[in-house]
Amino acid sequence: MGAVSRAERYRRIISILVDEGFGTAFDQLGLRAPWIASLRREKKPSAEELLSPEQRMRETIERLGPTFAKIGQMLSVRRDVVPAPFADELAKLQDEMEPFDAAIARDAIESAFDRPISELFGSFEDTQVAAASIGQVHRATLPDGTPVAVKVQRPGIRDIIEADLDILRTQARRIHGRTELGRRYDVVGLVDEFSRVLRQECDYLNEAENAQRFAELFAEDDTVHFPEVYWDWTAPTVLTLGWVEGIPFNRLDRIDEAGINRTEIARRGITSYYEQIFIHGFYHADPHPGNLFAMEDGRVAFTDFGRAGRLTKEGKAQVGELLAAIVERDYEMAGDILIELSSSSADVDAVGLKRDVGRLIEKYYDLRLHEVATRELLWEVMSLIGKRGLTLDPEFALLLTTLATIQGLGTQI
Protein backbone atom coordinates (compact mmCIF):
# COMPACT_ATOMS: atom_id res chain seq x y z
CA MET A 1 0.00 0.00 0.00
CA GLY A 2 1.52 3.29 -1.10
CA ALA A 3 1.90 6.46 0.92
CA VAL A 4 -1.12 8.12 -0.70
CA SER A 5 -3.36 5.15 0.06
CA ARG A 6 -2.08 5.11 3.61
CA ALA A 7 -2.92 8.80 3.98
CA GLU A 8 -6.37 8.12 2.61
CA ARG A 9 -6.82 5.30 5.09
CA TYR A 10 -5.75 7.61 7.92
CA ARG A 11 -8.25 10.26 6.87
CA ARG A 12 -10.97 7.60 6.59
CA ILE A 13 -10.29 6.38 10.14
CA ILE A 14 -10.39 9.91 11.54
CA SER A 15 -13.58 10.70 9.62
CA ILE A 16 -15.33 7.66 11.08
CA LEU A 17 -14.21 8.52 14.60
CA VAL A 18 -15.43 12.09 14.26
CA ASP A 19 -18.67 10.99 12.61
CA GLU A 20 -19.32 8.68 15.56
CA GLY A 21 -18.85 11.51 18.05
CA PHE A 22 -15.31 10.84 19.24
CA GLY A 23 -13.91 14.16 17.99
CA THR A 24 -13.29 15.64 21.43
CA ALA A 25 -11.12 12.63 22.29
CA PHE A 26 -8.43 13.96 19.94
CA ASP A 27 -7.93 17.02 22.12
CA GLN A 28 -7.86 14.89 25.27
CA LEU A 29 -5.25 12.60 23.73
CA GLY A 30 -3.12 15.43 22.40
CA LEU A 31 -3.92 14.68 18.73
CA ARG A 32 -4.86 18.10 17.43
CA ALA A 33 -5.00 19.00 13.75
CA PRO A 34 -6.90 21.81 11.94
CA TRP A 35 -8.66 19.48 9.53
CA ILE A 36 -9.86 17.30 12.41
CA ALA A 37 -11.37 20.39 14.03
CA SER A 38 -13.04 21.19 10.71
CA LEU A 39 -14.59 17.75 10.57
CA ARG A 40 -15.79 18.11 14.13
CA ARG A 41 -17.58 21.39 13.37
CA GLU A 42 -19.42 19.65 10.55
CA LYS A 43 -20.69 16.89 12.87
CA LYS A 44 -24.49 16.86 13.12
CA PRO A 45 -26.59 15.22 15.85
CA SER A 46 -27.77 11.74 14.95
CA ALA A 47 -29.71 8.83 16.40
CA GLU A 48 -26.40 7.15 17.32
CA GLU A 49 -25.90 9.76 20.02
CA LEU A 50 -28.63 7.96 21.99
CA LEU A 51 -26.42 4.89 22.27
CA SER A 52 -24.38 4.28 25.40
CA PRO A 53 -20.66 5.12 25.12
CA GLU A 54 -19.89 1.40 25.19
CA GLN A 55 -22.29 0.61 22.34
CA ARG A 56 -21.04 3.56 20.32
CA MET A 57 -17.46 2.39 20.71
CA ARG A 58 -18.31 -1.13 19.51
CA GLU A 59 -20.25 0.12 16.50
CA THR A 60 -17.44 2.52 15.64
CA ILE A 61 -14.90 -0.31 15.75
CA GLU A 62 -17.11 -2.37 13.45
CA ARG A 63 -17.10 0.50 10.94
CA LEU A 64 -13.32 0.85 11.15
CA GLY A 65 -12.77 -2.63 9.72
CA PRO A 66 -11.00 -5.93 10.45
CA THR A 67 -7.82 -4.60 12.08
CA PHE A 68 -9.77 -2.67 14.66
CA ALA A 69 -12.29 -5.47 15.17
CA LYS A 70 -9.42 -7.86 15.92
CA ILE A 71 -7.84 -5.41 18.35
CA GLY A 72 -11.25 -4.78 19.94
CA GLN A 73 -11.61 -8.51 20.54
CA MET A 74 -8.18 -8.63 22.16
CA LEU A 75 -9.01 -5.62 24.33
CA SER A 76 -12.28 -7.23 25.44
CA VAL A 77 -10.32 -9.66 27.60
CA ARG A 78 -7.82 -7.12 28.92
CA ARG A 79 -9.67 -6.13 32.09
CA ASP A 80 -6.44 -4.60 33.38
CA VAL A 81 -6.69 -2.01 30.58
CA VAL A 82 -10.39 -1.72 29.68
CA PRO A 83 -13.18 -1.04 32.21
CA ALA A 84 -15.63 -3.93 32.56
CA PRO A 85 -18.64 -2.25 30.82
CA PHE A 86 -16.54 -1.54 27.72
CA ALA A 87 -14.91 -4.98 27.83
CA ASP A 88 -18.33 -6.65 27.95
CA GLU A 89 -19.49 -4.66 24.92
CA LEU A 90 -16.30 -5.31 22.96
CA ALA A 91 -16.78 -9.03 23.59
CA LYS A 92 -19.76 -8.82 21.21
CA LEU A 93 -17.46 -8.09 18.27
CA GLN A 94 -17.53 -10.94 15.78
CA ASP A 95 -14.65 -12.00 13.55
CA GLU A 96 -16.91 -12.43 10.55
CA MET A 97 -16.95 -10.86 7.09
CA GLU A 98 -18.73 -11.39 3.82
CA PRO A 99 -16.99 -14.20 1.92
CA PHE A 100 -15.01 -13.36 -1.18
CA ASP A 101 -15.78 -15.06 -4.47
CA ALA A 102 -14.59 -18.64 -4.95
CA ALA A 103 -12.89 -17.64 -8.21
CA ILE A 104 -10.72 -15.22 -6.21
CA ALA A 105 -9.91 -17.99 -3.72
CA ARG A 106 -8.94 -20.33 -6.55
CA ASP A 107 -6.72 -17.67 -8.14
CA ALA A 108 -5.04 -17.00 -4.78
CA ILE A 109 -4.27 -20.70 -4.32
CA GLU A 110 -2.91 -21.09 -7.83
CA SER A 111 -0.72 -18.00 -7.39
CA ALA A 112 0.64 -19.32 -4.09
CA PHE A 113 1.76 -22.62 -5.63
CA ASP A 114 2.14 -21.66 -9.30
CA ARG A 115 0.05 -24.69 -10.24
CA PRO A 116 -3.55 -25.12 -11.42
CA ILE A 117 -5.97 -26.03 -8.68
CA SER A 118 -6.97 -29.17 -10.60
CA GLU A 119 -3.45 -30.52 -10.03
CA LEU A 120 -3.36 -29.52 -6.37
CA PHE A 121 -6.67 -31.02 -5.26
CA GLY A 122 -8.87 -33.92 -6.23
CA SER A 123 -11.89 -31.73 -5.47
CA PHE A 124 -12.44 -28.20 -4.22
CA GLU A 125 -15.79 -26.91 -2.98
CA ASP A 126 -16.52 -23.34 -4.05
CA THR A 127 -18.90 -22.69 -1.16
CA GLN A 128 -16.85 -21.65 1.85
CA VAL A 129 -17.55 -23.28 5.22
CA ALA A 130 -16.39 -20.23 7.20
CA ALA A 131 -15.43 -16.64 6.40
CA ALA A 132 -13.52 -14.38 8.79
CA SER A 133 -11.68 -11.09 8.57
CA ILE A 134 -8.32 -12.51 7.50
CA GLY A 135 -9.36 -15.53 5.46
CA GLN A 136 -11.98 -18.11 4.62
CA VAL A 137 -12.09 -21.90 4.66
CA HIS A 138 -13.06 -24.28 1.86
CA ARG A 139 -13.52 -28.02 1.99
CA ALA A 140 -11.41 -30.01 -0.46
CA THR A 141 -9.77 -33.37 -1.02
CA LEU A 142 -6.17 -34.13 -1.85
CA PRO A 143 -5.44 -36.11 -5.03
CA ASP A 144 -5.49 -39.33 -2.97
CA GLY A 145 -8.96 -38.50 -1.61
CA THR A 146 -7.92 -37.27 1.86
CA PRO A 147 -10.47 -34.68 3.09
CA VAL A 148 -8.90 -31.36 4.05
CA ALA A 149 -9.77 -27.83 5.13
CA VAL A 150 -8.11 -25.15 2.99
CA LYS A 151 -7.81 -21.69 4.53
CA VAL A 152 -7.23 -18.95 1.95
CA GLN A 153 -6.12 -15.48 2.96
CA ARG A 154 -8.34 -12.58 1.94
CA PRO A 155 -6.55 -10.76 -0.92
CA GLY A 156 -5.12 -7.41 0.13
CA ILE A 157 -5.91 -7.88 3.82
CA ARG A 158 -2.27 -7.85 4.89
CA ASP A 159 -1.69 -4.44 3.26
CA ILE A 160 -4.75 -3.01 5.02
CA ILE A 161 -3.64 -4.40 8.38
CA GLU A 162 -0.09 -3.09 7.94
CA ALA A 163 -1.38 0.38 7.06
CA ASP A 164 -3.68 0.40 10.08
CA LEU A 165 -0.95 -0.82 12.41
CA ASP A 166 1.44 1.84 11.15
CA ILE A 167 -1.18 4.52 11.81
CA LEU A 168 -1.93 3.12 15.26
CA ARG A 169 1.72 3.02 16.27
CA THR A 170 2.32 6.59 15.12
CA GLN A 171 -0.64 7.82 17.15
CA ALA A 172 0.30 5.62 20.12
CA ARG A 173 3.73 7.27 20.28
CA ARG A 174 2.09 10.70 20.30
CA ILE A 175 -0.39 9.70 23.00
CA HIS A 176 2.41 8.20 25.08
CA GLY A 177 4.46 11.37 24.81
CA ARG A 178 1.63 13.82 25.45
CA THR A 179 -0.62 12.20 28.04
CA GLU A 180 -0.28 10.56 31.43
CA LEU A 181 -2.97 8.05 30.39
CA GLY A 182 -0.82 6.90 27.48
CA ARG A 183 2.17 6.35 29.72
CA ARG A 184 0.17 4.67 32.47
CA TYR A 185 -1.21 2.03 30.12
CA ASP A 186 1.88 1.86 27.89
CA VAL A 187 -0.17 2.33 24.73
CA VAL A 188 2.92 1.88 22.56
CA GLY A 189 3.57 -1.50 24.19
CA LEU A 190 -0.06 -2.51 23.72
CA VAL A 191 -0.04 -1.58 20.03
CA ASP A 192 3.26 -3.42 19.55
CA GLU A 193 1.81 -6.52 21.20
CA PHE A 194 -1.40 -6.41 19.16
CA SER A 195 0.68 -5.86 16.02
CA ARG A 196 2.79 -8.92 16.78
CA VAL A 197 -0.31 -11.06 17.24
CA LEU A 198 -2.00 -9.82 14.07
CA ARG A 199 1.12 -10.35 11.97
CA GLN A 200 1.39 -13.88 13.29
CA GLU A 201 -2.24 -14.53 12.37
CA CYS A 202 -1.54 -13.27 8.85
CA ASP A 203 1.33 -15.75 8.46
CA TYR A 204 -0.18 -19.14 7.73
CA LEU A 205 3.23 -20.81 7.95
CA ASN A 206 3.35 -19.72 11.58
CA GLU A 207 -0.10 -21.21 12.12
CA ALA A 208 0.98 -24.44 10.43
CA GLU A 209 4.01 -24.71 12.72
CA ASN A 210 1.78 -24.21 15.76
CA ALA A 211 -0.67 -26.85 14.55
CA GLN A 212 2.10 -29.38 13.92
CA ARG A 213 3.61 -28.83 17.35
CA PHE A 214 0.24 -29.44 19.02
CA ALA A 215 -0.29 -32.58 16.94
CA GLU A 216 3.12 -33.91 17.99
CA LEU A 217 2.64 -33.07 21.68
CA PHE A 218 -0.74 -34.83 21.85
CA ALA A 219 -0.18 -37.64 19.36
CA GLU A 220 -0.65 -40.29 22.07
CA ASP A 221 -3.63 -38.61 23.78
CA ASP A 222 -6.88 -40.33 22.83
CA THR A 223 -9.09 -37.63 24.40
CA VAL A 224 -8.19 -34.79 22.01
CA HIS A 225 -7.48 -34.33 18.32
CA PHE A 226 -5.25 -31.87 16.47
CA PRO A 227 -5.48 -31.98 12.65
CA GLU A 228 -2.50 -32.92 10.51
CA VAL A 229 -0.67 -30.23 8.54
CA TYR A 230 -0.25 -30.92 4.82
CA TRP A 231 2.91 -28.96 4.10
CA ASP A 232 2.96 -29.52 0.33
CA TRP A 233 -0.34 -27.66 0.19
CA THR A 234 0.60 -24.91 2.65
CA ALA A 235 2.10 -21.46 1.94
CA PRO A 236 2.21 -18.05 3.69
CA THR A 237 -1.31 -17.31 2.42
CA VAL A 238 -2.77 -20.83 2.15
CA LEU A 239 -3.08 -23.36 4.98
CA THR A 240 -4.19 -26.95 4.45
CA LEU A 241 -5.10 -29.07 7.47
CA GLY A 242 -6.87 -32.38 7.90
CA TRP A 243 -10.65 -32.02 7.87
CA VAL A 244 -12.23 -32.10 11.34
CA GLU A 245 -15.54 -33.93 11.49
CA GLY A 246 -17.28 -32.67 14.60
CA ILE A 247 -19.78 -30.31 16.17
CA PRO A 248 -18.62 -26.87 17.35
CA PHE A 249 -19.00 -26.20 21.05
CA ASN A 250 -21.39 -23.33 20.30
CA ARG A 251 -23.94 -25.78 18.85
CA LEU A 252 -25.12 -27.43 22.05
CA ASP A 253 -28.36 -28.52 20.39
CA ARG A 254 -26.47 -30.64 17.88
CA ILE A 255 -24.15 -32.00 20.57
CA ASP A 256 -27.19 -33.15 22.54
CA GLU A 257 -28.83 -34.65 19.45
CA ALA A 258 -25.64 -36.63 18.78
CA GLY A 259 -25.79 -38.08 22.29
CA ILE A 260 -22.37 -36.68 23.22
CA ASN A 261 -21.79 -36.19 26.94
CA ARG A 262 -21.37 -32.44 27.50
CA THR A 263 -19.74 -32.81 30.90
CA GLU A 264 -17.15 -35.22 29.54
CA ILE A 265 -16.12 -33.09 26.55
CA ALA A 266 -15.90 -30.00 28.77
CA ARG A 267 -13.69 -31.92 31.19
CA ARG A 268 -11.48 -33.20 28.37
CA GLY A 269 -11.13 -29.75 26.83
CA ILE A 270 -10.21 -28.07 30.12
CA THR A 271 -7.85 -30.89 31.10
CA SER A 272 -6.06 -30.55 27.79
CA TYR A 273 -5.69 -26.82 28.31
CA TYR A 274 -4.14 -27.29 31.73
CA GLU A 275 -1.72 -29.83 30.27
CA GLN A 276 -0.84 -27.43 27.45
CA ILE A 277 -0.19 -24.60 29.91
CA PHE A 278 1.37 -26.20 32.95
CA ILE A 279 3.19 -29.16 31.40
CA HIS A 280 4.15 -28.08 27.88
CA GLY A 281 4.16 -24.30 28.35
CA PHE A 282 2.62 -24.02 24.87
CA TYR A 283 -1.11 -23.51 24.54
CA HIS A 284 -3.92 -22.75 22.11
CA ALA A 285 -4.73 -19.11 22.89
CA ASP A 286 -8.00 -18.61 21.00
CA PRO A 287 -10.44 -20.94 22.77
CA HIS A 288 -13.77 -19.52 21.67
CA PRO A 289 -16.58 -22.07 21.08
CA GLY A 290 -16.25 -21.98 17.30
CA ASN A 291 -12.67 -23.26 17.49
CA LEU A 292 -13.40 -26.36 19.59
CA PHE A 293 -15.33 -29.35 18.25
CA ALA A 294 -16.98 -32.36 19.87
CA MET A 295 -16.21 -35.45 17.81
CA GLU A 296 -18.52 -38.44 17.59
CA ASP A 297 -16.05 -40.65 19.47
CA GLY A 298 -15.93 -38.19 22.40
CA ARG A 299 -12.65 -36.52 21.56
CA VAL A 300 -12.28 -32.74 21.58
CA ALA A 301 -10.84 -31.33 18.36
CA PHE A 302 -8.96 -28.04 18.24
CA THR A 303 -8.86 -25.72 15.21
CA ASP A 304 -7.49 -22.27 14.36
CA PHE A 305 -3.89 -22.13 15.54
CA GLY A 306 -2.93 -18.59 14.57
CA ARG A 307 -2.63 -17.54 18.19
CA ALA A 308 -0.56 -19.68 20.55
CA GLY A 309 0.76 -18.77 23.99
CA ARG A 310 4.13 -19.68 25.43
CA LEU A 311 5.05 -19.89 29.08
CA THR A 312 8.55 -20.30 30.48
CA LYS A 313 9.38 -22.64 33.34
CA GLU A 314 9.63 -19.59 35.59
CA GLY A 315 6.29 -18.29 34.35
CA LYS A 316 4.58 -21.61 35.06
CA ALA A 317 6.00 -21.53 38.58
CA GLN A 318 4.79 -17.96 39.15
CA VAL A 319 1.25 -18.72 38.03
CA GLY A 320 1.18 -21.88 40.12
CA GLU A 321 2.38 -19.91 43.15
CA LEU A 322 -0.29 -17.27 42.53
CA LEU A 323 -3.07 -19.87 42.50
CA ALA A 324 -1.62 -21.53 45.61
CA ALA A 325 -1.42 -18.15 47.39
CA ILE A 326 -5.08 -17.50 46.61
CA VAL A 327 -6.13 -20.89 47.96
CA GLU A 328 -3.99 -20.45 51.08
CA ARG A 329 -5.32 -16.89 51.55
CA ASP A 330 -1.79 -15.53 51.52
CA TYR A 331 -2.56 -11.92 50.57
CA GLU A 332 1.05 -10.79 50.80
CA MET A 333 2.40 -13.41 48.44
CA ALA A 334 -0.49 -13.05 45.96
CA GLY A 335 0.04 -9.29 45.84
CA ASP A 336 3.79 -9.63 45.39
CA ILE A 337 3.33 -12.09 42.52
CA LEU A 338 0.79 -9.85 40.77
CA ILE A 339 3.26 -6.97 40.95
CA GLU A 340 5.97 -9.24 39.49
CA LEU A 341 3.64 -10.18 36.62
CA SER A 342 2.86 -6.55 35.80
CA SER A 343 4.51 -3.29 34.85
CA SER A 344 3.80 0.29 35.87
CA SER A 345 4.92 3.76 34.82
CA ALA A 346 4.58 5.04 38.40
CA ASP A 347 5.17 3.90 41.95
CA VAL A 348 2.86 1.06 42.94
CA ASP A 349 0.76 1.25 46.10
CA ALA A 350 1.71 -2.26 47.18
CA VAL A 351 -0.15 -1.96 50.48
CA GLY A 352 -3.35 -0.92 48.76
CA LEU A 353 -3.00 -3.63 46.14
CA LYS A 354 -2.53 -6.33 48.76
CA ARG A 355 -5.52 -5.02 50.69
CA ASP A 356 -7.63 -5.31 47.53
CA VAL A 357 -6.23 -8.79 46.88
CA GLY A 358 -7.21 -9.77 50.41
CA ARG A 359 -10.79 -8.65 49.88
CA LEU A 360 -10.93 -10.54 46.62
CA ILE A 361 -9.48 -13.71 48.11
CA GLU A 362 -11.95 -13.59 50.99
CA LYS A 363 -14.71 -13.58 48.41
CA TYR A 364 -13.40 -16.89 47.08
CA TYR A 365 -11.74 -18.32 50.20
CA ASP A 366 -13.74 -21.55 50.31
CA LEU A 367 -12.75 -22.70 46.83
CA ARG A 368 -10.52 -25.72 46.32
CA LEU A 369 -7.41 -25.41 44.14
CA HIS A 370 -8.95 -26.92 41.01
CA GLU A 371 -11.88 -24.50 41.26
CA VAL A 372 -9.85 -21.34 41.73
CA ALA A 373 -9.38 -20.35 38.09
CA THR A 374 -13.00 -19.34 37.50
CA ARG A 375 -13.78 -16.72 34.93
CA GLU A 376 -15.22 -14.29 37.48
CA LEU A 377 -12.19 -14.45 39.75
CA LEU A 378 -9.73 -13.94 36.92
CA TRP A 379 -11.69 -11.03 35.49
CA GLU A 380 -11.72 -9.44 38.93
CA VAL A 381 -7.99 -9.96 39.35
CA MET A 382 -7.30 -8.25 36.04
CA SER A 383 -9.65 -5.37 36.84
CA LEU A 384 -7.99 -4.94 40.23
CA ILE A 385 -4.57 -4.72 38.56
CA GLY A 386 -5.80 -2.02 36.20
CA LYS A 387 -7.41 0.02 38.96
CA ARG A 388 -4.08 0.06 40.81
CA GLY A 389 -2.26 1.51 37.81
CA LEU A 390 -0.61 -1.72 36.71
CA THR A 391 -0.60 -3.39 33.31
CA LEU A 392 -0.10 -7.13 33.01
CA ASP A 393 2.92 -8.27 31.05
CA PRO A 394 1.71 -9.61 27.66
CA GLU A 395 2.73 -13.21 28.43
CA PHE A 396 0.57 -13.32 31.54
CA ALA A 397 -2.28 -11.23 30.16
CA LEU A 398 -2.71 -13.81 27.40
CA LEU A 399 -2.51 -16.67 29.88
CA LEU A 400 -5.06 -15.24 32.33
CA THR A 401 -7.51 -14.36 29.56
CA THR A 402 -7.17 -17.88 28.12
CA LEU A 403 -7.77 -19.43 31.54
CA ALA A 404 -10.79 -17.20 32.09
CA THR A 405 -12.21 -18.07 28.67
CA ILE A 406 -11.86 -21.83 29.04
CA GLN A 407 -13.42 -21.75 32.50
CA GLY A 408 -16.35 -19.81 31.07
CA LEU A 409 -16.54 -22.29 28.22
CA GLY A 410 -16.72 -25.18 30.66
CA THR A 411 -19.56 -23.46 32.51
CA GLN A 412 -21.51 -22.85 29.29
CA ILE A 413 -21.27 -26.49 28.25
Q: What share of the chain is helix, strand, coil (3-state, %, to 5)?
A: 60, 10, 30
Cα torsion 5, 13, 398, 294 to 10°: value is -90
User: Which is it for strands 292-294 and 300-302: parallel, antiparallel or unpaired?
Assistant: antiparallel
> What radius of gyration do the chain's Cα atoms show?
23
Please, is 88 exposed, middle or buried when counting C-beta atoms within 10 Å of its C-beta (0-12, 13-18, 19+)? Answer: middle
253 is catalytic: no
DSSP-H helix ranges across 82-156? 84-90, 102-113, 117-120
Residues 76 and 66 sit within 8 Å (Cβ to Cβ): no
Q: Which long-range contacts (CB under 8 A, 24 or more apart) does 328-335 make?
A: 329/361, 329/362, 329/365, 331/355, 331/357, 331/358, 331/361, 334/361
Residue among 19, 80, 286, 330 flagged as catalytic = 286
Residues annotated as part of the active site: 286
